[in-house]
Amino acid sequence: MKALTLKMPVRYAINTVLLALLLLAGSALLSAGVFGRAQTSVIMQIGVYIILAVSLNVATGYLGQLPLGHAGFMAVGAYAGAILWKALPEGSLSAVAGIIFGGITAAVFGLIIGIPALRLKGDYLAIITLGFGEIIRIAIVNLSGITGGAPGLKKIPKYSNFTLVYICVILTCVIIHMFMKSRHGRAILSIRENEIAAESCGVNTTYYKVMAFTASAFFAGIAGTLYAGNQGIIAPSEFGFLKSIDILVMVVLGGMGSMIGSIVSAAVLTALPLFLQSSLKGFNDYRMIIYSLLLILVMIFKPSGLFGTYDFSLSFLIEKLGVKKSAKGEKQDGAKA
């Protein structure tokens, strides 16, 4: 029995075709007016949260640290992108420029924060990133000349549309996936498994920790810009500690170190409350109670999350199915003979 293995170009082709089909299907559904404005906004929010969860997963799942200031990077990206958008003339080129600017600004903050913070680990890292997140929020409130202060930044051009968000989500996932499969990614995983062992094998732990942290901040910044472009108005109170926890719940629930886990739980946890809000009265009062209970119960009974470190691969699935088929074929051949 010969196991079916797909060649790499074939795998890429399959994935590209599937993603393109999804994009076309999504745009077709949207332009056909299947979804109302509110639902379209929800779909875009799902995309934003997928980017946030996948990017936090780099620092939490792959690097094994617990930053609690992810919303801070999101805020930096949102404000940087939105301010550039407001300054530039309208156009799709400005939209892309704003997103890239948001990501890069957040990455710079990630670098500045990461270099000192990542000398610490565990609880100290958690508390210091929480501190930085709060400082960013307080700074945004106080620097009202640039940021609009506590009432928020208004009249942000609404650049975020389905295609843009979709492409950003896909790019984020693909880049992070490829990054994690590269030797840099392997080095980051080795730090998670055992930092001392990794260091003694010649992995420059500080360098890779900062690299993972900066990458995580970069994508959080992109998500922030998209969020600003979807909402049209952003206020510093949205980017508090609880937002960081929201994102953390998604990553933990999906499984730290599993990209498909982050994607699925980000989508479910974003969409479910918004839909349940209308059908189930008072659901929002209980949402955070359910979240916190989920966190505790998942940690006690299934600390690896729902998906563990499992990652979905379409090509792998096809290979599996292919093996079964060819096994059947062999049996039939035998029966004939």
Q: What is the DSSP string of 42-81?
A: HHHHHHHHHHHHHHHHIIIIIT----S-HHHHHHHHHHHH
Pairwise CA distance, residues 328 & 181, whole Å: 34
The answer to the question of residue 124 lying near another protein (CB under 8 A) is yes
The answer to the question of residue 126 lying near another protein (CB under 8 A) is yes
Nearer to another protein, 57 or 225 (CB): 57
State in angstroms the smallest separation of the CB of 255 from another protein: 13
Pairwise CA distance, residues 27 & 11, whole Å: 24
State in angstroms the smallest separation of the CB of 235 from another protein: 16
Phi, psi of 213 (to 5 degrees): -65, -40
State in angstroms the smallest separation of the CB of 18 from another protein: 34
The answer to the question of residue 306 lying near another protein (CB under 8 A) is no
What is the SS3 assignment for 153?
Answer: strand
The answer to the question of residue 303 lying near another protein (CB under 8 A) is yes
Q: Which amino acid is at 206?
A: T
The answer to the question of residue 295 lying near another protein (CB under 8 A) is yes
The answer to the question of residue 245 lying near another protein (CB under 8 A) is yes
Please choose, out of 22-30, 133-141, 157-165, 322-330, the segment that lies near another protein by the rule CB under 8 A. Answer: 133-141
The single residue among 43, 75, 80, 128 that binds another protein, judged by CB under 8 A, is 128
Pairwise CA distance, residues 46 & 67, whole Å: 22
Contact (Cβ atoms closer than 8 angstroms) between residue 59 and residue 208: no
Count, residues near another protein per rule CB under 8 A: 40
Nearer to another protein, 132 or 162 (CB): 132
Residues near 258 by Cβ (< 8 Å), separated by ≥ 6? Answer: 57, 61, 305, 307, 308, 309, 310, 311
Nearer to another protein, 61 or 224 (CB): 61
Determine if residue 152 is left, alpha or beta; phi over 0 gives left, psi from -120 to 50 gives alpha, anything else beta. Answer: left
The single residue among 285, 334, 336, 337 that binds another protein, judged by CB under 8 A, is 285
Nearer to another protein, 17 or 150 (CB): 150
The answer to the question of residue 141 lying near another protein (CB under 8 A) is yes
What is the SS3 assignment for 257?
Answer: coil
Q: Of 168, 160, 211, which is closest to residue 51 (Cα–Cα)?
A: 168
Please choose, out of 13-21, 63-71, 88-96, 203-211, the segment that lies near another protein by the rule CB under 8 A. Answer: 63-71
Contact (Cβ atoms closer than 8 angstroms) between residue 68 and residue 248: yes
The single residue among 17, 18, 20, 135 that binds another protein, judged by CB under 8 A, is 135
Residues that bind another protein (CB under 8 A): 64, 66, 68, 116, 119-120, 122-124, 126-128, 130-132, 134-135, 138-139, 141-142, 196, 241, 245, 248, 252, 256, 285-286, 288-289, 291-296, 299-300, 303
